Structure formats: structure tokens, C-alpha cells
Structure 1
Amino acid sequence: MSDAAVLSIRNASKTFGQRKALGGVSLDVRKGEMIALIGPSGSGKSTLLRSISALQTIDKGEGVITAFGGPVQQDGRIDSNVRKTRTRIGMIFQQFNLVGRLSLFSNVALGSLGRIPFWRGLLGLWPAETKQAAMAALHRFGLADYAAQRANTLSGGQQQRGAIARALVQKAKIILADEPVASLDPVSARKVMEILRDLNKSDGLTVLVTLHQVDYALRYCDRVVALKAGKVVYDGPAKALKTEQLIDIYGPEFEDVFWEGAPA
């Protein structure tokens, strides 16, 4: 891992049956970067994020994933001390991953579970610091009025903003966002991307976001990493990514689809 990197992936591979989801991926993520992971469906984007967050193991062998200088996993095994590292990594999912029957406030407060006794969270006995942090996050994202509302009664955009608020309460230093706008309407999607960008620019959080919307990747992210068939085929500035390269990544139909869906 380089001195400036907060996240390092070396030779990470992952096989599902006969399919190679990741094929020796290596990547360094520096503190304060906002990186878009793009590529066609099945290219390995979600698999890479799940491996970084230790939600799944990579294949045995040379693969190593480290975060904040400490091991996450290697040789197909999750490190025994990964819990401490994971408290600094916030994971945001396409389907929000909130507990529907709980209030939005309780869902956001759950972000503090890595720092407080589990029984307190189970009983809803949140410390004052957690209560303050949760309400501050809800207020910041325009959700304070919905704090007492059950999560499953909120719109998709509101739930996703709640999931990001939970990562803020978690005090995450890295946010991994797996297709966070795929289920949202265009207005809600832009709000979520603007929030992630603000957390990156204003709070200095490192953000790694998988996106199907290439126009969002180019608009909100400074660096783009493209995967194709489990391998990195582009890693560089968003502004340097050419249409010809995108056609090579996605196929000849890409240009028509992209320009039809691109915002005015």
C-alpha cells in the first residue's frame, strides 16, 4: 500500500462456479478520492465492493485487500481483526438495506453499533452522542421531519439518504456505494449523487461508487475505474475517458444508448 492510499487491492480474484467474477484486480484508492466503478453487468463491480467490505471472500492465492494499513482479507480468508476496520467503512446498497419496521431515526442510529454495547442498540437506549449525531445527519440531508416515520413508508430517495446518514453516524472514512441510484428516479438520483459528492468535498470522505449511469460517473467523479469481464480496462481521470474507450467497454450499442439517456 502506498503512503497516501487508504485502500489497496492486490491480485484479487473471485470465482463463482465456472465464472471468473474478478481476475487479478489491483487498485489503490487514495484518501479523499471519489471514484466511479463502471462496466457492463457482470463485470465484477459489485463483487469488488463486497470483497473490500469483507461481505465475501476472494479466492485463495496471492490476493490481498488492506484498508487503513490493516488487512481485510488475504488467501481467501477474512482477517480476524476486520471488525475494527469495517467500522470505518460505510456500505450503501442499491436496495437501501434499512430495517423497514424501525423508524428512520433508529435506522440511522444503528450506524453507531460498532462503538456502543450491542444491547443498547437492541433496546433502543441510544447514548446522547448517538442521538445528536443521528438528528444532525437527518437534518443535513433534509430528513429531520421524517425521523419518527417507519422506514418502509418512505420513498426510495428518502431511504437512500437515510442509508447515507447512517454511514455518517458510523463515522465512516470510506463510503462504498453499490449502485446507490439504480432504483431511483432521476431527481432523487441526482440528490443522492450530490450528497455523496458533498461528503467527498466538504467532509473529505473517500467514496467508491459503482454506477451504470456513465454520465453520472463523468459528472460527479474525478477518477473512473472501468471493469470488463473481471479485469481493470481503464483507470484514470474521468475527463480523459473517450467515447471510443466506452464503446470498447460496453459494446457498439453504447453510443446510442448513452446519448439517448444523457442529461441535457
Structure 2
Amino acid sequence: MSDAAVLSVRNASKSFGPRKALDGVSLNVSRGEMIALIGPSGSGKSTLLRSISGLQTIDQGPGVIEAFGGPVQSGGKISRKVRETRIRVGFIFQQFNLVGRLTLFTNVALGSLGRIPMLRGTFGAWPQETKDAVMAALARVGVADYAAQRANTLSGGQQQRGAIARALVQKAKIILADEPVASLDPVSARKVMELLADLNATDGLTVVVTLHQVDYALRYCKRVVALKAGKVVYDGPIDGLDRARLIDIYGPEFEDAFWEGAPK
């Protein structure tokens, strides 16, 4: 793992039966980068992100995944020290992963559970520091006015911003976002992507985001990593993704990977 890298994936593979979701993938992510993972459905984007976070084990063999210089997993086994690493890695799910019956405030406060006694969190006896952090995070993402509402009464965009606020309360230094806008309308999706980009540019958070919408990758990220059939087929700047390369990645119907029109 290089000195500049905060995430390192080396020769990682993942099989589901006879199908290889990841096939010898290697990737280094430097501190402060905002990277889009793109590729057709089934290309391995979500599997890679879940493997980086330790939510998914990779195959036995030479594969190694590290974060902040510490082990996440290797040889098909999650590291015993993964909890120490994972506390600094926030994961944003496509379906928000909030508890619908709890208030937005409580959902966001759950981000502090790795840093406070479990009993206090279980009974909602949040320390003042956590309460302050929750309200600051909700204000940062623009949904502080909804703190007392149950999560399941909020719009998808509001819930997703709440999920990002939870990662801020977690004090995550890396945000892994798995299709964070796939369930949102275009207006809400742009707001979420603008928020992630601002957290990257203003707060210095490292962001890795999987996207179906290639135009969003081109608009908000400087580096794009494309997967196809479990292999990295492109890793470079956005200006290298011309029409021919996109057709190679997605096939002749590559326009379907755009929300707002593909390049001519």
C-alpha cells in the first residue's frame, strides 16, 4: 500500500458459484479523491464496494484489501482488526438503510455507536457531544428541520441525506456510496451528488461512489474506474471516456447509462 493511498485492493476475486463477480481486481485510492465506479449491471461494482468495507468476503487466495494501512481482509477472511478500520469508513446504501420507526435524529445518532458505550446507545442516552454532532451533521446536509420526524415519513432524498449525516457523526474519513442516487428522482439525485462532492472538496473526505448514471460520474468525479465482467477495464480521468470506450464498456446501447443524454 503506497503512502498516499487510504484504500488498497490487490488481486481481489469473488465468486458466486461458477460466476466471478470480481476477477483479480486491483485498485488504489488516494486521500481526498472522489472516484466513480461505473459499469453495466452485474459488472462487480457493488461487490467491490462491499468487499472494501468488509461486508463481503473475497475468495481465498492472494487477494488483499487494506484501509488506512490496516487490514480489512485477505485470503478470504475478514481481519480481526476490521472494526478498528471500519469505524473510519462510512457506507451509504442505495435504500438508505435507516430504521423507519425511529426519528431521523436517532438514526443519525446511531453513527456514534462505535465511539460511545453500547448501553447508552441502546437506551438513547446520547452524550451531549453526540447530540451536538447530530444536529451539526443534519444542518450540514440540509435536513435539520426534520430531526424529530420518523425516517419513514421522509422523502427518499431526505433519507439519503440523513444517511450521509450518519456517516459524518461516525467521523468517517472515507465514504463508500453504493448507488446512492439510483432510487431518487433526478432533482434529489443531483442534490445528493452535490452534497458528496462538497464533502469531498470542502471537508476533504475521500469518496468512492458506484453509479449507473455515467453523466453523473462525468459531472462530479475527476477519476473513473470502470468494471466489466468483474475486471477493471478503465481507470483514469473522465476525459478519457470517449464514445468508443463507453461503447466498449456498455455495448452499443450505452446511451441507457445516461440520465441526461449521452455524448455524441
Same fold (TM over 0.5): yes
Aligned to 1:138: 138
Aligned to 2:193: 193
Question: Partners in 2 of 1:244 and 1:195 — Cα distance?
Answer: 31
Superposed counterparts of 1:68-107, under 5 Å? 68-107=68-107
- Is 1:262 aligned with 2:253? no
The offset of 1:263, in angstroms, is: 8.8
Question: Partners in 1 of 2:40 and 2:53 — Cα distance?
Answer: 21
The offset of 1:241, in angstroms, is: 1.4
Aligned to 2:165: 165
Identity of paired residues, percent?
79
Aligned to 1:9: 9
Question: Partners in 2 of 1:151 and 1:193 — Cα distance?
Answer: 21
**SS where residue 50 of structure 1 aligns?**
helix
Q: Partner amino acid for 2:207?
A: V
Aligned to 1:31: 31
The normalised TM-score by structure 2 is 0.98
The offset of 1:57, in angstroms, is: 0.4
Alpha carbon RMSD of aligned pairs, Å?
A: 1.3
Question: Partners in 1 of 2:159 and 2:87 — Cα distance?
Answer: 21
Q: What are structure 2's unaligned runs of at least 5 residues? A: none
Question: Partners in 2 of 1:250 and 1:88 — Cα distance?
Answer: 33
Q: What are structure 1's unaligned runs of at least 5 residues? A: none
Question: Partners in 1 of 2:35 and 2:73 — Cα distance?
Answer: 22
Question: Partners in 2 of 1:94 and 1:85 — Cα distance?
Answer: 22
* CA 120–32 in structure 1, closer or farther in 2 if over 3 Å, else same: same
Query: Is the Cα–Cα contact under 8 Å of residues 215 and 258 in structure 2 kept in the other structure?
Result: no
Q: Partner amino acid for 2:69?
A: G
Q: Partner amino acid for 2:189?
A: A
Superposed counterparts of 1:107-118, under 5 Å? 107-118=107-118
Question: Partners in 2 of 1:206 and 1:217 — Cα distance?
Answer: 15
Query: Is the Cα–Cα contact under 8 Å of residues 40 and 212 in structure 2 kept in the other structure?
Result: yes
Question: Partners in 2 of 1:197 and 1:96 — Cα distance?
Answer: 18
Query: Is the Cα–Cα contact under 8 Å of residues 213 and 258 in structure 2 kept in the other structure?
Result: no
| Runs of 4+, deviation exceeding 6 Å | none
Q: Partner amino acid for 2:172?
A: A
The offset of 1:260, in angstroms, is: 7.0
CA deviations over 1:21-69 (Å, ceiling 9, x no partner)? 0000000000000000000000000000000010010000000000000
Alignment length (residue pairs) = 263
**SS where residue 98 of structure 1 aligns?**
coil
CA deviations over 1:66-116 (Å, ceiling 9, x no partner)? 000000000000000110100000000000000111000000010101100
The offset of 1:142, in angstroms, is: 1.6
* CA 179–260 in structure 1, closer or farther in 2 if over 3 Å, else same: closer
